[in-house]
Amino acid sequence: MANIKSSKKRILVSKARNARNKAKKSELRTYLKKFDQAVLNSDKAAAEEAYKVAVKSVDRAVSKGILHRNTAARKKSRLTLKLNALQG
């Protein structure tokens, strides 16, 4: 454990941010799983709604620094391919 006051604060702040990032990443994974489930069920309407929510949450994760932008682009591309394959 740190002895310096500023170091103690940094530890507390980093724990809080780590918890927040974990929660946001978990939320993101949940939206992605909901989309995958809709695709597996071949439910176009549900898949389209889940797609919108998933893409929005991926973009939000990038803006918050949780995901790298290229990772987000790859995820969105794969989601789009799955959605288009479902419609085709």
pLDDT band at 2 (very low <50, low <70, confident <90, very high): confident
Using the predicted structure, report yes or no on whether residue 88 has a pLDDT greater than 60: no
Instruction: Measure the CA–CA gap between 36 and 82, rounded to whole angstroms.
Output: 9
For the chain, the first-to-last Cα distance in angstroms comes to 58
Residue 12 is encoded by which pair of tokens?
Answer: 């507390």
pLDDT 10s digits, 3-58: 999 999 999 999 999 999 999 999 999 999 999 999 999 999 999 999 999 999 99
Residue 35 is encoded by which pair of tokens?
Answer: 């989309």
pTM of the predicted structure, to 2 decimals: 0.86
Place of tokens 């803006």: 63
